[in-house]
Structure 1
């Protein structure tokens, strides 16, 4: 089965490419998630994978270390191979702020996602629209500045 690469890009000191196999080397979290899907109603799934925050932190986002609040201007854009995309603020998953357990799922309902690629999972979301299957790119952007 082919490995699907996820490109980590943007304002990172260590941009990289990761596969599901790479993501399996990170501590895995489990989440039982229920969300509404516009086309098929309420869905219930079990996901396993590392925290998005941990993976992106290892890629060294370009925060200004002298300004703790600098992280608040960073956005994370997640793009699926099918064209589906979502944008999150860095603060949503940062333990100092929102601390949401956003996952880069490596399994869904105990089925490995090796060939399909990881899935973005936001357990706190009532709607499943920000769950992105087959992630192709995650881009970190620190260009947002209030009043700029």
Structure 2
């Protein structure tokens, strides 16, 4: 059962910015508006060994797609040039490609977790969870920023 926060309790917020039509500031309660997925994850942590947890939350793809990424419909496969930078409150960063999470390509079930082991993350903030990763290095706790960036068209 999910407990409500009182007005005095702080709620963590993440800034969704970059090449999107609808930038947003999102909280864990906001992320509950998307379909929720659950993943049991086991990953190796360099400092504390193997970690096993159950996470739930929306797919990163669903949240970003809803923000309206700035894909150019005139450019074939334009979405493949987009990168996603995720930052945690502790300064930890991870970078993903749009192709990794896109259902037409990698289809990785990357979550913006709103719970860990059935504990809500309202105050701590959502977590980036990559169930397919063996190592937990791209797991980001307390996400405070996600930036979608399509500047990499000049690489071609």
**Aligned counterpart, 1:60:** 68
**Is 1:30 aligned to residue 38 of structure 2?**
yes
Go from structure 1 to structure 2 and tell me whether the alpha carbon gap of 1:68 and 1:109 turns closer, same or farther (over 3 Å shift): farther
Instruction: Quote how far apart the aligned CAs of 1:25 are.
Output: 1.3
1:21 aligns with 2:29: yes
- Structure 1 length as normaliser, TM-score? 0.97
* Superposition RMSD in Å: 1.0
Point out where structure 1 has 5 or more consecutive residues left out of the alignment: none
Q: Counterpart of 1:144 in 2: which secondary structure?
A: helix
* Equivalent-residue separation in structure 1 for 2:110 and 2:120 (angstroms): 18
- Say which of 144, 148, 152 aligns to 1:140: 148
Q: Distance between the aligned counterparts of 1:5 and 1:145, measured in 2?
A: 30
Deviation at 1:67, TM superposition (A): 2.8
**Given the two structures, how large is their TM-score scaled by the length of structure 2?**
0.92
Within the candidate set 3, 7, 12, 2:11 is matched to 3
Moved over 2 A (4+): 145-148
Match of 2:132 among 113, 116, 124: 124
Question: How much has 1:68 moved relative to structure 2?
Answer: 4.1
Structure 2 residue runs without a partner (length 5+): 1-8
Higher CA-based Rg:
2
Q: Deviations over 1:111-141 (max 9, x none)?
A: 0000000000000000001000000000000
